[in-house]
Amino acid sequence: MAQVTGTSKLISVGLVVSKTGRLSETGQGFINGFEMALEEVNSQLSDVSLRFIVEDDQSTIEGATAAYNKLIHEDGVPVILGVYTSTMMRAVFPIAQENEVVAISPTSAARGLSAIGDFVFRVALTVDSLIPGSVKLTREKLGYERVATMYQSMDVFSQSSDEVLKSAFSENGVEVLTTETFETGAMDLSEQFSRIVALNPDAIFVSAISAGRTQALIDGGQHSIPILMPLLTLDEVERAGEAAEGAISFTYWSSTGNVPANRAFVENYMAKYGAAPGRFAAVSYATVHILAKAIADAQSSDSHAIRDALAQIENLDTILGSFSFDANGDAVYDPAVLIVKDGKFEVFDTKTALATIGETNESGVAGKAVFTQIGDNIKLVVSLANASAGEHAVHIHATGDCSAPDGKSAGGHWNPTGVAHGKWGEGEFHLGDIGNMTVDNQGMGKIELTTNLWKMNTGSDIDIVGKAIIVHAGADDFVSQPSGNAGARIGCGVIELGP
């Protein structure tokens, strides 16, 4: 343990980053955030200044272990910041604990690592804090009931994330259809996604780090199924290109976060480095400010005093929001859920429209239609009960009125483009030509469609709000004009904007 004496104290802080190796793409963001915060805190601390001793972990467990041992046994630092991955943190946290040196990971998020001891802390939200609330929010918005998961094998964070996701799904009544895995460095995940897509899940959840997330976006983004990833970064989005559009991230920081300190950080970072900050720069910046608060409160450079002061931090204003450490040394603050739109992150805020389908012509059917907008795409899920077994056409009709007993108050087919009736996706078809639903012997049926041809709550000619969902007694033949000879209307529901 280092103890600096004298009136003007210079406290050395160890910094372990991936300057070389497979994770080197993350290193500069960390360094920028660390250095920017260092300049600020040194201008604010009256009788103490900090300096970094930087070590390269070479993106390996062995490199991280060597860096920690050097900083502890040769440089005598009281505090070490880093490393990046939970896999490396699992190896080096015990070294810090054994030597009674404070270790703070800006990014490690796997469950349970802070329980290694009282000298270890984490600034990123762990998967136990990040995922359950994010699953609850996204399920409310997207309405997914059947999902698939995929994770990067042999990576501690990815395994931990997948475990917590499955626990959250169980608590929310979501069925996991299958789980795929892939190895670190895999350059083609198309086979895994093909197996998943064949099961037609409502959403796919991918747990991976860095290049693994990018590859999953590239191979999974070609499908129309929503992809959700804990801790997806903007750098990874940029590398994936258009394939990332519509992807959803559970994360602990957003450049658009409505926190005064965050807005100032983004502006100052852009002025200093000529580019917008990423998540790594943000969390490393926050880590230094949190450490500086603890040192100021401790009035000491002793690792025990710094540890005790860190443990007492509660409701500290940071760029991450109001920040606290829990009893284990894990961070507590509000997570962010973001969606990729036009290659950038926006706060995830889907729009929904709903139709409750009631019987017409005394059919006895009941059901619902849920429209969910994700980016430019709108996904429709129509479910039906108490219907006769077989094929039933489902259409959107022009008028949102189900008052007539025979459903004819809903008017004719919705056809804002003025083309011939047909089969969706083949030649000409009405924007209301959804297709045929198969109803089983228990009277249950379901049909889904995802498209960018509709709008929601825009008032445009192709807006689905204010129209009606109609279920017919028979199947659509996709040929007969003007409506496919689908027979009587047995169900009707007005499409209204959701909450």
Indicate which residue of 118, 162, 421, 476 is catalytic: 421
Tell me which of 122, 307, 472, 476 is the catalytic residue: 472
Task: Write the single-letter amino acid at 388.
Answer: S
> Each residue of 326-365: b (16+ CB within 10 Å) or e?
eebbbbbbebbbbbbeeeebeebebbbbbbebebbbebeb
Active site residue 223: no
Q: How far apart are CA 355 and CA 401, in angstroms?
A: 11
Comparing CA positions, the residue from 319, 308, 312 lying closest to residue 283 is 319
The radius of gyration of the chain's CA atoms, rounded to the nearest angstrom, is 27
Three-class DSSP category at 33: helix
- Rounded to an integer, what distance in angstroms lies between the CA atom of residue 35 and that of residue 50? 11
Q: Which of 56, 289, 397, 476 is catalytic?
A: 397
CB 379 within 8 Å of CB 450:
yes
Annotate 253-264 with b (16+ C-beta within 10 A) or e (fewer). Answer: bbbebebeebee
Q: Which residues pair with 348 in a beta bridge?
A: none
Please identify which of the residues 122, 279, 289, 489 carries the catalytic annotation: 489
**Pick the catalytic residue: 118, 213, 430, 476?**
430
Other residues' Cβ atoms within 10 Å of the Cβ of residue 223: 15
Judge whether 387 and 374 are in contact, CB under 8 Å.
no
Element housing 105 (H / E): strand 102-105
235 catalytic? Reply is no
Which residues fall within 8 angstroms of residue 159, CB to CB, at 6 or more apart?
110, 151, 153, 207
Query: Which residue is catalytic, options 395, 401, 406, 463?
Result: 395
Has 73 been annotated as catalytic?
no
State how far the Cα of 345 lies from the Cα of 432, in Å rounded to an integer: 32
Q: Which of 433, 440, 461, 477 is catalytic?
A: 433
- Which amino acid does the sequence have at 36? M
* Short-list 271, 211, 256, CA closest to 235: 211
For 147, which DSSP code? E
Residue 415, token pair as written in the block: 């056809």
Specify whether 421 is catalytic.
yes
Query: What are φ and ψ of residue 459, in 5° steps?
Result: 80, 5
The single residue of 139, 279, 392, 413 carrying the catalytic annotation is 413
Catalytic annotation, residues: 395, 397, 413, 421, 430, 433, 472, 489
